[in-house]
Amino acid sequence: MKPRPTAELIRILSFLSGRDLSLSGFVGVLSPSIAVVYPTQWRRLISLLKAGGTRRVLPVASGISDFASACAESIKARGPGIHVLSACPAATNYLAATFPGLAQRVLEVPSPMALSAQTALRLEGIPGGSAIAVSSCALKKREEGRGPFDLRVIAVAQLIKALEDAEIDLCSWGEADFDEGARAVSAPGCAIPDLVGEDFAALGLGPISVMKLEDAVRARKELSTLAAGRGTNPGVYTVVELTFCENGCVREPDL
C-alpha cells in the first residue's frame, strides 16, 4: 500500500509558501507548462497532492472562461482601442520595458491561475481556505494578493526538491491515479483572444479584432506598429495576447 504523506506534505507546502495553510482546507492549481520541465512527473505530482490532503486540483485552464468574460467586460468599459490581455507576467514585464505605452493598455484582470484557484475554493465550499498554485514560472508569484482569498504560488522546482529531501518518491504515485477531469483542455478551448471575442460579441458590441503574438522576437514588428499608432482603425476594439511560453501557460504543451 502506498504511503499517504498528508502531514508531511502539508508541512512542505506551508514551509514553501511561508505560512501555515488554512485549517478549513486547501486546494491546488497546476500550470500544464510544468510538463515541459517534468514531462514524466507532473501527473504523478497531481496524484500525490490529492493523496496528501488537497481537496481539489484544477489546471490553470479551468479559469479561462471566467478570464475571458472578465476581459470582455473590462474592454467594454474602456471603449475602442488597444487592449492587452494580462495572463503572461513575462510579457507584461517586456512591454513595460520596451513599449510602455502598450503596457498601459494591459487589462487589470486576475489571471486564469488566480481565477482557477478561486473556483476550486468555491467548489469545495471553503472560500476561506488556502489555494496552492504550482507553476514553472517564477513571475507568477506576483499573483499572490491580487484576489480576495489566500493564494500562495510555489515554484515546481522547489516543490520537487523538497519532496526529494523528505524522501517522498513521486514514482509511488502512478499516472493511473491522475484525474482525467484535471487534464488541460485542448488548444481550441484555450484560444483566449477568440474566447474574449466571442464574449465581447455576446455583449452586443463590436467590431473587434483579436491577435495572438508569441515571443518577443516574432512579435516585435507587430508591437512596434501598434505602439506607433498604426495597424488599427478608429472605433475598433483591438485585443492582443502576448505570451512567451509554448502554448501559453494554460494548456498542456505538445511534447
Residue 250 lies in a domain: no
Please identify, among 182, 203, 228, the residue that sits at the C-terminal boundary of a domain. Answer: 182
C-alpha separations of 208 from 76, 85, 112, 214, 233 in Å: 11, 14, 22, 20, 10
Residue 151 lies in a domain: yes
Per-residue model confidence as pLDDT tens digits over 110-142: 888 899 899 999 999 999 999 999 988 878 888
Pairing of the two strands 57-59 and 237-243: unpaired
Judged against a pLDDT cut of 50, whether residue 255 lies above it is answered with no
Same domain, 124 and 50: yes
Same domain, 175 and 137: yes
- Give buried/exposed letters for 47-66 (b at 16+ CB in 10 A, else e): bbbbbbbbbbbbbbbbbbbb
* Strands in 156-234 per DSSP E: 208-214
Enter the pTM of the model: 0.83
Total of domains in the chain: 2
Residue 251 lies in a domain: no
pLDDT of the residue at 22: 93
C-alpha separations of 249 from 14, 27, 59, 184 in Å: 25, 19, 10, 10
Residue 27 lies in a domain: yes
Domain that holds residue 28: 6-62+111-182
HEC states along 147-158? CCCEEEEEEHHH
| Domain CATH code at residue 220 | 3.40.950.10
35-49, 70-84, 215-229: which has the minimum mean pLDDT?
Answer: 35-49
Same domain, 129 and 178: yes
Same domain, 118 and 165: yes
57 contacts 213 by C-beta, under 8 angstroms: no
Q: What percent of the chain is helix, strand and coil (3-state, nearest 5)?
A: 50, 15, 35
